[in-house]
Amino acid sequence: MLRRFKIVIEYDGTNYFGWQKQKKGETIQELIERALLPLNGGRRVRITGAGRTDAGVHALGQVAHFDMETELDPGTIKIVINANTPKDIYVTRCEEVDKSFHARFSAKRRKYIYRIARRYSPFDRLFSWCPPYELDTEKLHECSKLVVGKREFVRCCRSTCKAKSKECVVFESFWKEGERFLEYHVSANRFLQSMVRMLVGTMIEVARGRYTVEDFKNLLENKTNEVQVLTAPAKGLFLKEIIY
């Protein structure tokens, strides 16, 4: 009998070309599908992820589903996947779900965190961005509040983005200040390609004094082409959680 399984995955995206399978390099999807081959008689199992993280982006709670004919319990499937994937990819949960569940289309919210290091450390270099500027954190807070709501994020996605609609509903957007890091927290019904990194990069440009908060507001409202959008490095971005 064909059964549907849901898995939750953590991964360090440093050495991968993102989530989605592609020709130019190894991806998370490809390696997990490869890990499932022994459980399916060597036949490919297609897995579907909740979101397509870019090359170098990390995940604390990526979700995927797949269908497979097996009598194995979810716990055993989890063990086999983890035994057959590199140490920088780890399935934290595996459970059987109803056939109506879809990792991507059933999702209500997606949550991301972007981490800015307050000072450079070799131990944080692969998991945060350390901009070489003095930053006005009050301006970061002001900018983040402007992101909340429903809008067309036309300027905050890559030109190669194939999404027909650029409309997203952002539920929360705020900066959290810690001793070592500034963390940007954002959740929305959907995100466009590189959207979070573009928002962060441009907010940093405001915080360093290159643009004003009003410039950022006009960018979000698609009222200006004079603001140059900066894309923050992938290494500071984490897919935190998928809400169903």
For residue 177, the cross-strand partners are 182
Segments forming the whole domain that contains residue 217: 109-239
| pLDDT value at residue 61 | 97
Q: What span, in angstroms and rounded, lies between the C-alpha atoms of 233 and 131?
A: 10
> Which helix H or strand E contains 197, and what residues bound it?
helix 195-207
| pLDDT value at residue 163 | 78
Helices H, strands E: what count in the chain? 5, 9
Are 138 and 227 in the same domain? Answer: yes
Burial 110-129 (b: 16+ CB within 10 A, else e): bbbbbbbbbeeeeebeebbb
Are 48 and 123 in the same domain? Answer: no
| pLDDT value at residue 53 | 93
Between strands 89-97 and 167-177, the pairing is unpaired
**What backbone phi and psi angles, to 5 degrees, belong to 174?**
-155, 155
Contact 28, 11 (CB under 8 A): yes
| pLDDT value at residue 223 | 85
Question: Which of 129, 120, 107 lies closest to 58 in space, CA to CA?
Answer: 129
Q: Which pLDDT tens digit goes with each residue over 36-82?
A: 999 998 999 999 999 999 999 999 999 999 999 999 999 999 999 99
Q: Considering 12, 54, 67, 98, which one is annotated as catalytic?
A: 54
> Which helix H or strand E contains 140, and what residues bound it?
helix 137-147
Q: Which pLDDT tens digit goes with each residue over 21-35?
A: 888 889 999 999 999
Are 188 and 115 in the same domain? Answer: yes
Are 132 and 229 in the same domain? Answer: yes
Are 45 and 77 in the same domain? Answer: yes
Are 187 and 224 in the same domain? Answer: yes
Averaged pLDDT for residues 120-147: 97
For residue 7, the cross-strand partners are 64, 94
Domain boundary (71, 97, 123) is at 97
Are 48 and 90 in the same domain? Answer: yes
Domain boundary (35, 68, 97) is at 97
Residue spans of beta strands (DSSP E) within the chain: 2-11, 47-49, 58-69, 89-97, 109-117, 149-152, 167-177, 181-188, 237-243
Are 117 and 72 in the same domain? Answer: no
Angle between helices 137-147 and 213-220 (to 10 degrees): 20
| pLDDT value at residue 224 | 77
Are 149 and 228 in the same domain? Answer: yes
**Is 126 part of a structural domain of the chain?**
yes
| pLDDT value at residue 234 | 97
Tell me, yes or no, if 54 is annotated catalytic: yes
Are 155 and 62 in the same domain? Answer: no
Question: Which of 123, 93, 83, 96 lies closest to 1 in space, CA to CA?
Answer: 96
| Nearest-10 Cα torsion for 47, 109, 240, 196 | 100
Are 14 and 134 in the same domain? Answer: no
As for how many domains the chain has, the answer is 2
Q: Which pLDDT tens digit goes with each residue over 170-218?
A: 999 999 999 999 999 999 999 999 999 999 999 999 999 999 999 999 9
| pLDDT value at residue 1 | 83
| pLDDT value at residue 213 | 97
| pLDDT value at residue 54 | 92
Rounded percentage of the chain residues whose pLDDT exceeds 90: 88
Contact 230, 206 (CB under 8 A): no
